[in-house]
Amino acid sequence: MSALVSILRVKRGDECNHEVHVATVLPTASSPPMGWSQYNIKDLGNSVAGIPRLPLSMYLCIPACCSCSSVQHHDRTDCTKSGSMERLNIPKIIQGGMGAGVSHWHLARQVSLAGQLGVVSGTALDVILVRRLQDGDFGGHVRRALAKFPVPEIADRILSQFFIAGGRKPGQPYKRIAAISARLSQHAQQLLMAANFVEVALAKEGHDRPVGVNYLEKIQMATLSSLYGAMLAGVDYVLMGAGIPMEIPGALDRLAKHAKAWLRLDVDGARPGDDFRLEFDPQKVWKASLPTLSRPRFFAIISSVVLALALIKKASGHVDGFIIEGHTAGGHNAPPRGAQTVNHRGEPVYGSKDAVDLAKIRELGRPFYLAGGFGHPDKLQEALSAGANGVQVGTAFALSIDSGLNCDLRARILDDIEAGRSDVFTDRLASPTGFPFKVLSLDGTNSEQDLYEQRGRICDLGYLRTAYRRDDSTLGYRCAAEPVEDFVAKGGDIAQTEGRKCLCNALLANIGMPQQQADGTIERPLVTAGDDLEVVRTLIGKYGRDYTAAQVIEYLTAQPVPAGAGVEAPQAEDHFTA
């Protein structure tokens, strides 16, 4: 690595001077120096005299002080010791957040131990926590993490209410919790806090490497409590997509100070002058002494330059970076821009308007990653050559032995991939959110429309419900996958119910936690995956069917993972094989 290093003073407005180390990485460099973070050099004005002007993505810097907000955007904490700094290790690989529970704590931990960014899914963690406890908490992992929760009485209450020694009896349904809403009870807020704390704490257990958490902007009503719980466990990165997370950066700033945070709630039928807000005040949820928190870095998952610019200019706080996700990625996709057309299979057609101009992304000067079909070594190098810091990969990790997928379900998926009969369909109707959703065709799952239609419509979890304004200005909730007559009675358009499927119950079935409904039916899975399944076939051929997360990283980087990474056996839980 060859670099020129200079020390200069930076003054912005009326703020104090700050000493900053600036490195100009010569064009021959293939990656940033270890421990250096990408920085928007435009903030330094013309102060970089004597250092060659190169594309912005080639400039990196770290402050000589710690992460003072007036120079460095990361934690926005006050400098406490002269000459100290937080050294950043920007990873090349982000393991995508895959909910519900596919990117669970064990997968994220294995990825972080291997030197990259492991990410837990923050979706439905309250339900996942209580179902793990009802399944007996095999291995004692949840109880071990709850023992570290800062408010013991909250942990004790959760254990008393949900833990079943030895697990549920055969045929016993899971005990339910109330669906999330805009006015969460104190117990519901505490459960969300504890569940997110547990997942992040377990992912960070036994090492000091970064761990991230992924949320869906669409699931607004659980967000603030979930963020705070993850921050109590020391989460390092927050990633968010499936919407425009304009207010999340400011919420992180406030929660890091234990201050009341709020988000504007999206409400169907809201009128001018309506002010529907979600609020969370940490000091009202608990009475214990408040620990010192760090503000995690925030990466927005986006699919356009326009959205990146809007977030930089209008977000309530600093956006630390971006993940540019293409339409071949698994899970929810952004809809196509322009005229909406479908192919012969009924899938949305994407075109040139959906391509992202990476040159304009580079000019923003923020770290960025490419996602959607980048699970190959040559695609990683392609991303780095385009100025990206690396790639986000999902499907390869989701089908590793370390993921949270039910092991029998995973085995059937691998059978289909090896036999060449796998198919991924972009379903424009399945998700109640209205976003296109990737569905992996698999016998015996809700990917089979005839089979799904045998299921009675029910919405008993409610994560993807939409809030709507009643005539009396109060809030109601409806889901396009609930019984059609209920949806219409709540003012919903019957056309919006066409083809909709209950993702909440199906995604929990994917990880071996299917609910048994009142009529005795067991919820079936619905698996999502990216378009590129060839990477899985390649990994099986190279490492065998039980390939690990560490081996995915070894394959992508063509380098051995750090000593000790990937050597732990998967943390099997009873529900993995249910």
User: What is the predicted pLDDT for the residue at 559?
Assistant: 84
Compute the CA torsion angle 302, 305, 306, 308 (nearest 10 deg).
50
Residue 88: what residue type?
L
Name the nearest CA neighbour of 513 among 132, 121, 102: 132
- Spatial distance between the Cα atoms of 447 and 115, rounded to a whole number of angstroms: 36
302: β partners: 324
User: What is the predicted pLDDT for the residue at 288?
Assistant: 67
The pLDDT tens digits for 330-364 are: 888 888 888 889 899 988 898 888 888 999 999 99
User: What is the predicted pLDDT for the residue at 33?
Assistant: 35
Residue 522: what residue type?
I
Domains of the chain: 1-90 (no CATH), 93-403+540-573 (3.20.20.70)
User: What is the predicted pLDDT for the residue at 89?
Assistant: 59
The pLDDT tens digits for 533-565 are: 999 999 999 999 999 999 999 999 988 876 556
Q: CB count, 10 Å around CB of 269?
A: 12
User: What is the predicted pLDDT for the residue at 7?
Assistant: 33
Residue 393, C-beta contacts closer than 8 angstroms, at least 6 positions apart: 93, 94, 95, 96, 371, 374, 375, 552, 556
Name the nearest CA neighbour of 25 among 46, 55, 48: 55
- Spatial distance between the Cα atoms of 352 and 530, rounded to a whole number of angstroms: 20
Question: Under the phi-then-psi rule, with left for phi > 0, alpha for psi from -120 to 50, and beta for the rest, what region is 229?
Answer: alpha
User: What is the predicted pLDDT for the residue at 560?
Assistant: 80
User: What is the predicted pLDDT for the residue at 454?
Assistant: 87
User: What is the predicted pLDDT for the residue at 28?
Assistant: 34
- Spatial distance between the Cα atoms of 207 and 216, rounded to a whole number of angstroms: 27
User: What is the predicted pLDDT for the residue at 36?
Assistant: 34
> Model pTM?
0.83
Residue ranges in the chain whose pLDDT is less than 70: 1-89, 288, 562-578
